[in-house]
Each structure stands twice: as structure tokens, then as C-alpha cells.
Amino acid sequence: MTGIGLLKPERNSKNNYRIYNTDHLDKLQQILFYRELGMELGEIRRILDSPDFDREKALTSHLAELKKRRERLELLIENVQKTIASMKGEIIMRDTEKLTGFKKELIEENERKYGKEVRRRYGDDLVNASNTKLMGMTKEQYAYLEKLTGELNNTLRDACLEGDPAGEKAQEACRLHKKWLSFSWPEGVYSPEAHIELARIYVEDERFNGYYEKIAPGCAVFLYDALNIFYSKA
């Protein structure tokens, strides 16, 4: 981590050993906390080097996130315990209960990775409505969403390899992406313009861009171009 300038220890003039003082250790603690939250080192450096950085506020934020994670784990543990009891015939567990922990995990992961940016752009009311819609999914809807996500990503990957945003494979990816959005976007929010704007955010925001880069290099830009073609034909 010292290699990219996150920690800059002093040197012992006699033996050239690195010397870490309390400030270094405090900074290292912050780095480790942010890494646990899944942040890239470059982003951590920008936060810590900001003149507005407040260590107490940062620790308070870390604590709140850790409590959320604990609640999420407790929910999953409870879910597994109920499932085991149900298998033993000790209780009757509704199908909707079996997915509660996983749906909450999905929402919490989205909040952790993209929540701050999405809430800034779209507002709390819309994001909260989206989360409520996800939590209300039936077991059939949840299973279909899982299948659809895999199909979408595979189609996007293959389309990127073909390299033609106007091609049939790319246009199929656009149709699948539109369907995929319907599981989280509240009623009345969707429009071609909103869809294209979201794709533009995928390109510009490094967190979203990173997700699509894992599907295929340049995938976010490719999807943006494909969607512009998709709606130009509508």
C-alpha cells in the first residue's frame, strides 16, 4: 500500500528502517476499513487526502456500515436456522421467508457499491421505492431475475466480442437489459431517455464501469452505443 502513497513512513537515519508512528497506524486503520468496504486504493487515497476528511465522521460511518453487515448476517443466520427447523418438521416456513435474507443481501450489496451515487442522482424516494419492489418479489420472480441476470451478462459478453453495437446480439442484450431493469425500477420511472441516461452513468462512474468491465472490456461503452441504436429504431 505504501507503493501508491497511501502511507509514507519516516526513515531511521542509521539503518534506513521504516518508522510508523501513531498517525500512520490511524491512517492504516482507515485504509483497512475502506478496503473492507470494497473500495479501490485510488479512491481511498482521494478520500484520505481530501482537506475535508474527518476521522471521527469516517469512523462513525464505518460503525454504521458494520452494524448493517451484522444485521444482514443475523438475518441470514436466522433464515438458515428456520430452514433447518423446517426440514426437521419443527416449523412451517413459507416460501417467501426462504428468500428474505437473500433479497436483503442483494439490496444491501447494491447500496454498498452504488447507493451513494444512485441516491445523489435519483433521490432517496426513488431508491427506497426500488428496494421495496425488490423485497416484494415472489420466489418465481426472484428465480427468474437470477436467470435473467446470467442471460443478460452472457449475451452482453458475446455481443462485445462480436464488436457490433447494431448487431442482433447487441440488440438482444438491449432488450434483456430493459427487461432486467423492470425488476427494480418503480412504475412510471422507465423511459428510453432514462434508460440511455443510466447507460451513460455506467460509462462515467467507475463503480458501475468496473462491474461491466468484468463482463467484457469496454462493455459499458458498448452497451451505451447499442442502446442509442436500439431506441433510434423504435
Residuewise pLDDT in 10s, the chain (234 residues): 443 455 565 555 555 555 555 676 777 778 888 787 777 777 788 888 888 888 888 888 888 878 877 877 777 777 777 678 767 777 665 665 655 666 677 777 777 776 777 788 778 888 888 888 877 778 788 788 889 999 999 999 999 999 999 999 999 999 999 999 988 888 888 899 999 999 999 999 888 888 899 999 999 999 999 999 999 986
Backbone angles phi, psi at 15, to 5 degrees: -120, 0
pLDDT value at residue 8: 60
Same domain flag for 132 and 155 = no
Q: Which amino acid is at 77?
A: I
Query: How many CA atoms are closer than 13 Å to the CA of 156, on its beta-carbon side?
Result: 29
CA distance 216 to 228: 19
Say if residues 21 and 11 touch (Cβ distance below 8 Å).
no
DSSP letter at 185 equals: S
Same domain flag for 198 and 229 = yes
Same domain flag for 84 and 20 = no
pLDDT value at residue 216: 94
- Number of structural domains found in the chain: 3
Say if residues 196 and 224 touch (Cβ distance below 8 Å).
yes
Q: Which domain holds residue 191?
A: 138-234
In a domain, 178, yes or no: yes
Whole-model pTM: value is 0.56
Same domain flag for 129 and 152 = no
pLDDT value at residue 135: 78
Q: Which of 150, 229, 165, 154 is nearest to 196 (CA)?
A: 229
